[in-house]
Chains A and B, each alone.
Chain A
Amino acid sequence: MSPDSFADRMSDYIDGVLSAAEREKLDAHLAECSDCRALVSDLRSVRREARSLPPLEPPEQVWHSIAARIRTRHGSAARRSRFHTGLAVAAALVLSVSLWIAIAPPEPDRPYTEGQEALADMVTEELRAAEAHYQNAITGLEQIIAENQGSLPSELNQTIMESLDLITRTIDESRNAMATNPDSSVAQESLLEAFRRKVTLLRNTILLINEVRKGEGENALNLIDEIRETDDPSNPI
């Protein structure tokens, strides 16, 4: 190992992340090399000084501004809620209908129109209707997937099932939260967001099954990427 290679490992050395063998080799080198001993000492010092930098407190005004903007948004959100809920229902409706046309045999008309008319009254009723529509779409999509079980590699199937379970748990949690606080806009948004995720994941799974059957490897890989993105809720950006 050259002196430069030793120098490159010094941060790992002071962080204690080297293997026992690597550490032993570096210890032996340090016993003979005063320059590297000085480097280790200086790097430790930099780390210690950085660690002791004082915390920096933001002025209280920042929180007041955030709180004020959240309050303002909530006021606007309540006014927009009816429109957005209707939009979510319409999206779920279009999605489920188009998939049924593409994949499943036609069925008698579903009572979407009644649900949409109910949206005009109260936010809680709107949400109930939205939930029913999402649930209808989900039931239909799940049925298609169940009928095509075994079409996907078992490992991928397992990952998809785990993601669906996680989303289902989120839906249950959001429902519980709604039961406690029916007016909470955060809980309402959480519920609709979870439904949206579930519909997207189910839709992509069905498309994936179709691509695998057709032998369209590239399209299938793109869909797997999309599924992974749906499956990455911690990505905030």
Chain B
Amino acid sequence: MGTSSIVASVNESGPSPSPPYEHAPTDAGERRAEDDRLVARLRGGDPDAFETLYRRHASSIFGLLLRMLQNRADAEDLLQEIFLQAHDKLPSFEGRSAFGTWLYRLGVNRCLDHLRSRSAKEQARTDPLTLISSSSSSSSSSPSPSRTAAAAFPTTRPGGTRSLELERAIGELPPSSRAAFLLKDVEGYEHKEISEMLGIAVGTSKSLVHRARMQLRERLNPPSARGKTRGKR
């Protein structure tokens, strides 16, 4: 994200109602009802229902995984693992929480476990995907978040380099802040839902999201650049 985009919002005043997220729940009740119907169809023996559930949720879950892990191969592996686990656990799912929330909870916790278990190994491993994108850069065996982000995210995309810069900055957040921020600001969940998914208090969720936003602000619009960009207004 460049400073110009930050400057562009200076004149906004007051919290405007959040517009529907492009790739997030637009009507939670309707989505939940449709998911419930699909779960019932699956329990009734219709195997196609699981593919429909996958296609309804795979993109969001994959986005969360890729942004959490900053590694495409790991995100694909974990996506597969999470949906297989969801398939296995569906008999015990009684629908007290929305299927999507249940799936996110499964995904984000699996993701945090994965990050914890790989952290030591990652330090000593060179990611081959990283080498593709930056073979001439640092010889460090531990890829930096910005290097892994360059490998993980397509460089030709809406928002171009600005959104890639944000992806990189998100990758530098501590895992718990990153998870809360992605669920709140990218996926559009409320703090209450996030607290249920992560097993934390609502206040903790608010605090994690706020810290993440502050850290992203520092990274994307450092104090040295603020005077200059605001001076151009």
Contacts and interface: CB of A to CB of B under 8 A. Distances in A.
Interface string B198-221: 000000001001100110110011
A183 B185 contact: no
B45 A233 contact: no
Contacts of A42: 6, 9, 217, 221
B171 interface: no
Contacts of A66: 54, 80, 83-84, 87
A53 B54 contact: no
B43 A58 contact: no
Contact of A236 (B7, B18, B102, B186): B102
Given A50-B185, A67-B51, A184-B45, A236 B85 contact: yes
Contact of A54 (B163, B209, B230): B163
A118 to B, nearest CB: 23
Contacts of A14: 15
A177 B217 CA distance: 53
A201 to B, nearest CB: 13
Interface string A168-202: 00100110110011011011011011000100000
Given A69-B84, A181-B45, A8 B210 contact: yes
B232 interface: no
B31 interface: no
A21 interface: no
Nearest to A71: B47
B interface residue count range (under 10 / 10 to 19 / 20 to 34 / 35 or more): 35 or more
Given A53-B167, A56-B59, A236 B106 contact: yes
A interface residue count range (under 10 / 10 to 19 / 20 to 34 / 35 or more): 35 or more
B22 interface: yes
A46 B90 CA distance: 37
Interface in B65-91: 66-67, 75-76, 79-80, 83-87, 89-91
A44 B96 CA distance: 34
Max chain B C-beta neighbours (<10 A), residue from A8, A16, A17, A51? A51
B83 to A, nearest CB: 5
A54 B45 contact: no
Interface string A47-86: 1111111111111011101110110000000000000000
A5 to B, nearest CB: 12
Interface in A188-234: 189-190, 192-193, 197, 233-234
Contact of A190 (B85, B87, B91): B91
Contact of A16 (B9, B15, B59): B15
Contacts of A156: none
Given A41-B6, A177-B44, A233 B92 contact: yes
Given A11-B209, A58-B62, A236-B89, A47 B43 contact: no
Max chain A C-beta neighbours (<10 A), residue from B55, B153, B213? B213
10 contacts: A15-B15, A49-B163, A56-B62, A58-B59, A58-B76, A62-B62, A63-B51, A236-B93, A237-B106, A237-B109
Nearest 9 CB-CB pairings of A with B: A181-B45, A184-B45, A16-B15, A11-B210, A55-B23, A50-B185, A45-B6, A233-B94, A58-B62
